[in-house]
């Protein structure tokens, strides 16, 4: 967007723009082939989001293809991708995959050229924002990408997905806010559905933060939504923190402790903040399984392994 709108910056951005264009075309050309090979899946972020928001698959930067599947279809999807020459970033034995499907949200695979992330939720279980997959599939829309209609999230579910994704990363990129502002500018919203889902999925505070930041960027918001968000006393200091971080180049992805403090503060209630801390501390992840390989009979030791690994990170 900078390249296209600010001509005086083009000489400095030319190489990155061309790299993004080549990567985008490669990913977009592979998307239909993967959708045809896999069980029913929705494409989100990546080419479909760029097309929906900006009318151009190359108008956003992305480095992989994100596909949303039902968790029961993930094992079959892994097998199909393996037939196409993809391998897992971290292969899991069956019991680990079953555990990961309960507590994680994605499984990364690559063929050396194309990186694919199979998702069954937007964020790990520790966030407590579990979405109804059947409802998401029932609300599927089609987005025209090239000469193919691609199954994608509804605009309302895109908004909730972008909110959860940005919160997960501590809102460390201006592009997260720009995407939400663009979405609100091009897609009419069923605001009753969005507000109801935000509360049901325990992301009401995150939704207020998203609305206030989008409003900061000039996005059109209904007066009642703007008023509710602006009057949320818990959201306001977090919004100011995001603005300050962006203006001063503070990246919460680098400062792990600060990011988790922000995520914890973004939970809707004190009980959910405590639950987030406990789940974060005790739920094994891919990194823990990679850190120490244990046989299935000893898998009950993994919460202790996780605590040990987290303690080492603080040293």
Q: How many CA atoms lie within 13 A of 16 on its CB side?
A: 13
pTM of the model as a whole: 0.94
pLDDT at 315 over 80: no
For position 230, what pLDDT does the model report? 87
Whole-angstrom Cα distance, residue 155 to residue 168? 20
Each residue of 136-148: pLDDT tens digit? 999 999 999 988 9
Band of pLDDT at residue 255, cut at 50, 70 and 90: confident
Which residue shows structure tokens 């292969």? Answer: 91
Each residue of 203-213: pLDDT tens digit? 999 999 999 99
Each residue of 126-136: pLDDT tens digit? 898 899 999 99
Each residue of 12-30: pLDDT tens digit? 999 999 999 999 999 999 9
Q: How many CB atoms lie within 10 A of CB 16?
A: 12
Whole-angstrom Cα distance, residue 126 to residue 277? 8
Across the range 37-46, mean pLDDT stands at: 97
Whole-angstrom Cα distance, residue 124 to residue 105? 5
Whole-angstrom Cα distance, residue 236 to residue 245? 14
Whole-angstrom Cα distance, residue 35 to residue 150? 9
Q: Which domains does the chain have, with CATH numbers?
A: 1-153 (3.30.460), 155-283 (no CATH)
- Segment holding 24, helix H or strand E: helix 10-37
Under DSSP, is residue 287 helix (H, G, I), strand (E, B) or coil? Answer: helix
């Amino acid at each position: 967007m900078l390249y296209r709108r600010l001509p005086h910056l083009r000489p400095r951005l030319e190489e990155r723009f061309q790299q993004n264009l080549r990567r985008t075309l490669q990913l977009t050309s592979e998307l239909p082939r993967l959708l045809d090979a896999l069980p029913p899946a929705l494409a989100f972020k990546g080419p479909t989001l760029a097309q929906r928001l900006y009318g151009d698959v190359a108008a956003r930067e992305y480095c992989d293809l994100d596909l949303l599947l039902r968790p029961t279809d993930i094992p079959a999807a892994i097998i199909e991708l393996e037939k196409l020459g993809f391998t897992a970033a971290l292969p899991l034995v069956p019991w680990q995959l079953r555990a990961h499907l309960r507590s994680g949200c994605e499984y990364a695979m690559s063929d050396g050229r194309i990186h694919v992330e199979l998702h069954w939720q937007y964020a790990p279980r520790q966030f407590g924002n579990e979405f109804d997959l059947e409802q998401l599939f029932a609300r599927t829309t089609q987005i025209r990408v090239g000469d193919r209609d691609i199954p994608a999230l509804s605009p309302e579910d895109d908004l909730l997905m972008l909110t959860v994704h940005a919160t997960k990363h501590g809102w460390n990129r201006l592009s997260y806010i720009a995407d939400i502002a663009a979405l609100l500018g091009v897609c009419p919203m069923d605001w009753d559905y969005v507000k109801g889902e935000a509360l049901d999925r325990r992301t009401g505070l995150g939704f207020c933060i998203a609305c206030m930041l989008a409003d900061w960027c000039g996005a059109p918001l209904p007066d009642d939504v703007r008023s509710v968000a602006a009057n949320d006393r818990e959201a306001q200091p977090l919004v100011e923190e995001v603005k300050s971080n962006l203006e001063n180049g503070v990246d919460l992805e680098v400062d792990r402790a600060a990011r988790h403090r922000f995520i914890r503060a973004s939970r809707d209630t004190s009980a959910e903040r405590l639950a987030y801390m406990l789940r974060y501390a005790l739920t094994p992840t891919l990194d823990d399984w990679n850190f120490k390989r244990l046989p299935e009979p000893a898998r009950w030791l993994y919460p202790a392994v996780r605590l040990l690994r987290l303690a080492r990170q603080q040293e």
